[in-house]
Amino acid sequence: MITLVLHGELRQRTGGRKELAVRGAGRTAGAILEDLGIPGHETAALIVNAEQVEADRVLAEGDRLEVLPAISGGEDGGALSDIRVIDLTRALAGPYCTLMLADHGADVVKVEQPGKGDETREWAPPSIGGVSAYYLSINRNKRSLTLDLKHPDGKRVLERLIEGADVVVENFSPGTLERLGFAPDRVRSLNRRAILCRISGFGQDGPGRAWAAYDLIVQGMGGIMSLTGHRGSPPVMVGVPQADMIAGMFAAYAILAALHARARTGEGQVIDATMIGGQVALLSRQAARYFADGTVPGPEGNEHSSIVPYQTFRAADGFVNICCGNNALFERLCRALDLEELLEDERFADNGARVKNRAALVPQLERRVGQLRKDDVVRRLREANVPVGPINALDEVFADPVVRHLGLVAEVDHPVAGRVRAPGIPVRLSKTEPSVRRYPPLLGEHTDEILRELGYLEPEIEKLRTDAVV
């Protein structure tokens, strides 16, 4: 017998039962699910004994097979299913913005340069089946149209696209859209309901308008790198391109606000979203310290300047984070780690005292945590309801039961790359579920389809191809 665990809506196949014992030793995972009437397209991932596997994996006696449901849309296709987005972006900040809209049902038309496309198509290795993994990670749920925006006929196609659009998103260098003939006033004249979102490093005007902006540059200029790293160390870049991603998130947030305003006024508007703006917004408590007394914070490593203990500890086989924001949590921590004697020490009586006597307290906690395995520390503190978590490498992240339960791995079949995995959609809605509906498109894959929707006839489409407009 094996243990079968069904997550999410897959439980409907077994009358609501999440976990059951089935005969499966010597059979493939796919065959077991087929017997239960669960088709492959309804599953996002198969996990055997905490390892992600393919459907042809043969199971052994006592194995544990977990099945994650494919992300599926709500009855109306998502909260933004009536919204069309013209995506003139490339690289990361802009495509991440439009990815967020696409995941919630928006029809995103990705306009790309003929023969070349989004520059991330060339950002490899790594690649999957010859397709850039970077490109695949941020372009699902979109349709690709190739279009030469410098050609007069290409401009006419873009005019038609704008006329039928709800949102236009661009992240050209400031001034490029104007040089192409589509300044904000022109866009507004074509469609007064359209929302034009412009994403740049430092804004469409002002002293930084002409500066080139990449993630590393903006992380540094926005103060994040000055706060990241250990005391006395050189500045450290955050390990993901968060300046780009945060800019995309704020842009998507602003687009939704503008759509809500349009519902009242009937008018679109222009959004100026910047990478530097997102970084400054993230400064939060560190900015508060600076504004309060003029202190210029520096890197603090994995410690909190105002709370002790609130930091990383080395266990016998890895690292854990432990956070105690009040006395009750500190007491539970000490009891869970068999350090009750610390509760009798006046130096650690409250948080203020613990901050003052950090150098005396932390080494004692470090010694005790270092005697235990990472999983043991996490188990003890979770049982005591003390905030704790392991520091996971990516293989551990995607095997984590919480990550699996929340469907945070999205999978889709790609005609060239095969089965493509990427981080899933981080939120769930009860009525208008976001969904993964389309694989990241091949370059120009939907060109003819979109042109037909714009009213172009077949001879016209053929001429556009002959003239290298598309």
Distance CA 112, CA 149 (A): 9
Q: What stretch of H or E contains 101? A: helix 93-103
Residues 88 and 161: beta-carbon distance below 8 Å = no
Residues 170 and 98: beta-carbon distance below 8 Å = no
Centroid of chain to Cα 328: 35
Other CB atoms closer than 10 Å to residue 447's CB: what's the count?
22
Nearest CA to 337 out of 391, 309, 376, 387 is that of 376
- Evaluate the CA torsion angle 247, 253, 257, 258 in order and state its sign: positive
Q: What stretch of H or E contains 331? A: helix 327-336
Is 126 exposed, middle or buried, given 0-12, 13-18 or 19+ CB atoms closer than 10 A? exposed
Nearest CA to 132 out of 418, 417, 410 is that of 417
Nearest CA to 381 out of 397, 365, 362 is that of 365
- Catalytic-role residue among 166, 215, 244, 272: 244
Is 39 exposed, middle or buried, given 0-12, 13-18 or 19+ CB atoms closer than 10 A? exposed
Residues 71 and 425: beta-carbon distance below 8 Å = yes
Other CB atoms closer than 10 Å to residue 250's CB: what's the count?
20
Distance CA 245, CA 125 (A): 21
Which residues contact residue 272 at a Cβ distance below 8 angstroms, ignoring those fewer than 6 apart? 198, 200, 203, 204
Q: DSSP per residue over 234-263, as a string?
A: PP---SS-HHHHHHHHHHHHHHHHHHHHHH
Distance CA 439, CA 421 (A): 10
Residues 366 and 314: beta-carbon distance below 8 Å = yes
Other CB atoms closer than 10 Å to residue 436's CB: what's the count?
22
Can 244 be counted among the known catalytic residues? yes
Nearest CA to 134 out of 146, 119, 145, 144 is that of 119
The residues carrying an active-site annotation are: 244
